[in-house]
Amino acid sequence: MKHSWYKEGVVYQIYPRSFQDSNADGIGDLKGIISRIDYLKSLGISIIWLSPVYESPNDDNGYDISNYKGILKEFGTMEDMIELIRILHVNNIKLVMDLVVNHTSDEHPWFQASLKQEKPYDDYYYWEKKKRNWTSFFGGEAWSYKEERDEYFLHLFSKKQPDLNWNNPLVREEVKNIMRFWLDLGVDGFRCDVINLIAKADGLPNGKWSPILRGREHYMNHPKIHPYLQELKNDVLSKYNCFTVGETAFVTPETALSYIDENVRELDMVFQFEHMAADNYFVKWFIRKFKPMNLKKPLSKWQNGLLGRGWNSLYLENHDQPRSISRFGDMNFYTESATMLATMIYFQQGTPFIYQGQEIGMVNAAFENLDDYQDIETKNIFKLGRKLGMSKKRMMKKIKMMSRDNARTPMQWNDSLNAGFSQGEPWLKLNPNYKNINVESNQSDKNSILKYYQDIIKLRKKYSVIVYGDYQDIEFKNRKLYAYSREDESNQITVICNFSNQPISIKNFEYLKTEKCILHNYENIDNLSVLQPYEARVYIKK
């Protein structure tokens, strides 16, 4: 694989609303991020992905943008933003912005003008006399009526997130213009929100029957997307030293390669979602019991599927997903399972993405009361479930496990008021466990999860085989074990993870006794041939 800075870096995702508040209004902000740069440096990360900070009515916490070139007042000013970029760069940290261009807010001036059929905006969105039967990602219909035009418009997400009409060259010019604006300000790339949904089939036909996302065959990875992405690449991205990661639900390695193959590179990498279904039936509300094999299978499929052809993104968490320890770990082996999960994912080939709080072992908040949740998706799904006849109890059980707010509770810095996040009333309740789980408690414990993340990042900088080496599964059929090797011309490493709460015998790995263990998550290795519960080890051939 060709070498690049974004392949060698480690990305840290900041959800600004919940990271650090600087003025006691209960909402995280840019000045707050600036005040925490020393922490980010000490973690060792080299790139930040910042979730949206643009002007927005916040129907979907910033993923509904009303001005792409303005900063939401709650987060600060454009001066703060420029200062953040400057100071990150002084500290050798790059910045990737969230580019949300499948849709805007309905309060964006383009939509307001489109409503009134003002030229040239009349055709910036999808307007139809007859509605289609498509359903939305947040539940309910995806086409809604507007009296002003006596027409229906498309919104794959909330009613306040109308989809942009990418057929319109003017829309594409607007997007390129936004990208240039931010790249010229110095940002180093984009995380492209739901980018594989931007192209819709001509004529917007009705969808075939489906219990979820009816109509999706007309917009998911639609072939028309490729010329659009090539246009962005040729006219803008290729002119800057930047990278893109596309958020692409519903892709296989094959579809992904149509975007990211080293010879195509419409995008530099994608977030795939197949391993996020390890505890559900592809729709997160259809929960199934977690089985390690259901995590290992898709991860290994992606490692093998992209090998030598495309670059992976490595993640277990983001602002849309519940906390990974709660989903795939074990609270009875809290530190062990958290560090095992980190070993398992971050020694694979690809760029690591760490979501804020993951590195200190934050877990699901699992609030009991619906009123404690703020997320529009959570609220909508509750209503929808009730409408379909499901009990309150059943819906709350799902929400406690799967709500996006599990990941959005404020960052836990210390055990003081509001975990050091804010001197005011936080916009979303804290996880009450912040007294024990926080940055300071991690910093003062030499065996903490945070220390382990720091060690992983250091090792990645030291051994390029961890970045670029080829991946190969070991004993793939063993359901309790996730083991693999990474190899390049000069080095070979072996990663072994016990994915169970029982000791397991690993006699076949005795050959490792001649190799050097560079990382493990127990104080000592008592017995080379037995892995303790959730034990993880990384060996390098001497």
**Residue 120: CB atoms within 10 Å:** 12
Tell me: does residue 132 bind ligand TEU (CB under 6 A). Answer: no
Which residue has its beta carbon closest to Ca ion? 29
Q: Which of 457, 464, 511, 462 is nearest to 483 (CA)?
A: 511
DSSP state of 325: H
What's the angle, vertex CA 125, arms to CA 219 and CA 217, rounded to 5? 10
Q: Which of 29, 55, 188, 193 is catalytic?
A: 193
Cβ neighbours of residue 452 closer than 8 Å, sequence gap 6 or more? 338, 339, 342, 521
Nearer to ligand TEU, 26 or 246 (CB): 246
Tell me: does residue 77 bind Ca ion (CB under 5 A). Answer: no
Site string for ligand TEU, 443-462 (x = CB under 6 A): --------------------
The Cα 283–Cα 281 span in angstroms is 5
The Cα 212–Cα 203 span in angstroms is 21
Q: How many residues bind ligand TEU (CB under 6 A)?
A: 14
Interface with ligand TEU (CB under 6 A), residue from 188, 268, 317, 320 = 320
Q: Which of 541, 509, 483 is nearest to 525 (CA)?
A: 509
Tell me: does residue 106 bind ligand TEU (CB under 6 A). Answer: no
Tell me: does residue 249 bind ligand TEU (CB under 6 A). Answer: yes
For the question of residue 193 being annotated catalytic, the response is yes
Among ligand TEU, Ca ion, none, the one that 21 touches (CB under a kind-dependent 5 to 8 A) is: Ca ion
Among Ca ion, ligand TEU, none, the one that 25 touches (CB under a kind-dependent 5 to 8 A) is: Ca ion
The Cα 321–Cα 336 span in angstroms is 21
Interface with Ca ion (CB under 5 A), residue from 8, 25, 107, 330 = 25
Site string for ligand TEU, 360-389 (x = CB under 6 A): -----------------x------------
Cβ neighbours of residue 371 closer than 8 Å, sequence gap 6 or more? none
The Cα 96–Cα 192 span in angstroms is 10
Interface with ligand TEU (CB under 6 A), residue from 404, 408, 429, 460 = 404
Task: Identify residue 156 by its one-letter amino acid code.
Answer: L
For the question of residue 247 being annotated catalytic, the response is yes
DSSP annotation string for 123-156: GSB-EESS----B-TTSSBSEEEETTTTEEEE-S
Nearer to ligand TEU, 84 or 245 (CB): 245
Q: Which of 371, 311, 316 is nearest to 346 (CA)?
A: 316
Tell me: does residue 317 bind ligand TEU (CB under 6 A). Answer: no
- Closest distance of CB 135 from ligand TEU, Å: 12
Tell me: does residue 398 bind ligand TEU (CB under 6 A). Answer: no
The Cα 323–Cα 341 span in angstroms is 12
Nearer to ligand TEU, 276 or 449 (CB): 276
Q: Looking at residues 155 to 174 of the shown chain, list those that interact with ligand TEU (rule: CB under 6 A).
A: 157
Bond prior to 16 in cis (omega within 30° of 0): no
Site string for Ca ion, 26-65 (x = CB under 5 A): -x-x------------------------------------
Q: Which residues bind ligand TEU (CB under 6 A)?
A: 60, 63, 100, 137, 157, 193-194, 247, 249, 284, 319-320, 377, 404
Q: Which residues bind Ca ion (CB under 5 A)?
A: 21, 23, 25, 27, 29
